[in-house]
Amino acid sequence: MAAQTTKPKKKTIRTIPQERTPCPEQDPAIRARNFDEVSLGYGLEQALVEAERCLQCADEPCVRGCPVGIDIPGFIKKISEKHLHGAYDIITDTNLLPSVCGRVCPQENQCEGVCTVGETLEPVAIGRLERFVGDTAIREGWANVPYIEPAGLRVGIVGAGPAGMACAADMAKAGCEVVVYEAFHQPGGVLKYGIPDFRLPNEVIDAEIRKLEALGVRFECNTLVGRLFTIEQMITEMGFSAVFVGTGAGYPSFMGIPGESLNGVLSANELLTRCNLMRARDFPNFDTPLQPGKHVAVIGAGNTAMDALRVSLRLGAESVHCIYRRSRTEAPARVEEIHHAEQEGVDFNWLTAPVEILGDDSGGVRALRCVKMELGEPDASGRRKPVPVTGSEFEFVCDSVVFAIGTNANPILGQTCKLALDRRGYIATDENLATSIVGVWAGGDIVTGAATVIQAMGAGRRAARAMKAWLGLRDSDAVYGDALGGTLFGIAREEHGAARVRVA
């Protein structure tokens, strides 16, 4: 009895729950035919058990593993204390979109990949806990709208995807009037057109966007920057003090094999955009058509490929095949995604490369001619290079072929403004993401090439930090020390740009 009143014992790897708390999921057989979310997320009970598994270690490798540096042990501690709003406050200090990131971050390569618990047991399910907090906030209607002092500056953001949204949030909090321009008719970028509802429901994205609007961010859809007005015009004529470009990558790659223009061959981007954003899956209630194949071959094994495979299943395909020239170990998709796709009945064909798409009489697809591969020496990417096995060609019967083998840089900004590009056509930036035009920053896929949602958000925030410094705005994230030394009129020198001194 007395033990209860004493200080609780320090948690050790032996005292914490040994098993990772399972997350309830829809049954694979049922979910493979619907667009409802696969992972149902933790309830409070499960979240509390999982939060117990965090050692609250002093080293905090998870914080360093997070591209935006969320205070992970901090918010998990708040969950343990059943102070969910406190947990939400901690996360939103650094990440405005916990419901999104908790779902789509590759945690196994980031926070969870370096978790101390993970050295011995399965790591703490940080992503699921983050999602739990974010979803609770949406359900309860929490929004942390701080008091914002107007800075009298306008910031323009090109692209309403994850990079632009993250940058918009930071600049709005710094007091800027933020306008986000989006070419599509809805904001969200890849979160809306790319990631399917069963991984990230649209309501979650809309809820997160409403939070940005609550911060004062204005979204201007149906606006193709570059063509309707240029980046230069934003700076010179439209009165923007700074501009952030986060237009994403775009321009899907094809392989250049014969038969690619047959009907029934499309990019994963087209399949996903038609299905997710344009709601072709609800045709004819929505007007956008999509003619899903009965037997679908998806080429590639990244996250986009997994989305295309699983979307095809849900659109009613009888068989769905993943064609990848390397082996499972080299597949770029998240382990969880491959696992989910397998559970749902996707047929994986590793070490298989397409060489030709064969047509039928009516211009459609009849089959895919493939060749077997084997792994040779490591190539430039460090992965073992696949080489064709001679005489191993075979025909793979299918009526639809989807390419999910990456994207190239979108050419629109290069065509319409003087931003310097790198040799691959992406926007060239310095380490602070400043571009060749003064007052213009860029980040996300249009700078790095295809990456993840959280990396794009990290870039948006990094650019925001640089923009604030350039605009002379006080950065609430920065630690204002004594770098310049001393005070002037009793105010630290670094604070002079922000302080409003009233002389009586």
- Binding interface with other proteins (CB under 8 A): 183-188, 193, 205-206, 209-210, 213, 218-224, 227-229, 248, 250-252, 254, 256, 260-261, 263, 266-267, 269-270, 273-274, 278-279, 283-291, 363, 410-412, 415
Q: Nearest-CA neighbor of 91 among 62, 53, 114?
A: 62
Report, in Å, the least distance between residue 293 CB and other proteins. 12
In this complex, which beta carbon is closest to other proteins, that of residue 62 or of residue 212? 212
Report, in Å, the least distance between residue 366 CB and other proteins. 15
Q: Are 127 and 112 in contact (CB under 8 A)?
A: yes
In this complex, which beta carbon is closest to other proteins, that of residue 94 or of residue 410? 410
d(CA 153, CA 174): 10
Nearest-5° angle of CA 459, CA 93, CA 79? 120
In this complex, which beta carbon is closest to other proteins, that of residue 98 or of residue 161? 161
Q: Are 316 and 291 in contact (CB under 8 A)?
A: no
Which positions ≥6 away from 500 have C-beta within 8 Å? none
Nearest-5° angle of CA 296, CA 370, CA 406? 65
In DSSP terms, 359 is beta-bridged to: 365
Report, in Å, the least distance between residue 240 CB and other proteins. 15
d(CA 144, CA 150): 17
d(CA 113, CA 255): 33
- Residue 6: strand, helix, or coil: coil
Report, in Å, the least distance between residue 471 CB and other proteins. 25
In this complex, which beta carbon is closest to other proteins, that of residue 63 or of residue 238? 238
In this complex, which beta carbon is closest to other proteins, that of residue 182 or of residue 337? 182
d(CA 209, CA 213): 6
CA dist 275 → 123, 201, 291, 415 (Å): 35, 13, 10, 29
In this complex, which beta carbon is closest to other proteins, that of residue 21 or of residue 407? 407
d(CA 77, CA 136): 16
Report, in Å, the least distance between residue 167 CB and other proteins. 17
In this complex, which beta carbon is closest to other proteins, that of residue 60 or of residue 445? 445
In this complex, which beta carbon is closest to other proteins, that of residue 92 or of residue 276? 276
In this complex, which beta carbon is closest to other proteins, that of residue 211 or of residue 468? 211
Report, in Å, the least distance between residue 160 CB and other proteins. 9
In DSSP terms, 395 is beta-bridged to: 369
Report, in Å, the least distance between residue 101 CB and other proteins. 18
Report, in Å, the least distance between residue 236 CB and other proteins. 15
Report, in Å, the least distance between residue 5 CB and other proteins. 51
Q: Are 109 and 102 in contact (CB under 8 A)?
A: no
Dihedral sign of CA atoms 169, 173, 176, 177 in order: positive
Peptide bond preceding 284: is omega within 30 degrees of 0, i.e. cis? yes
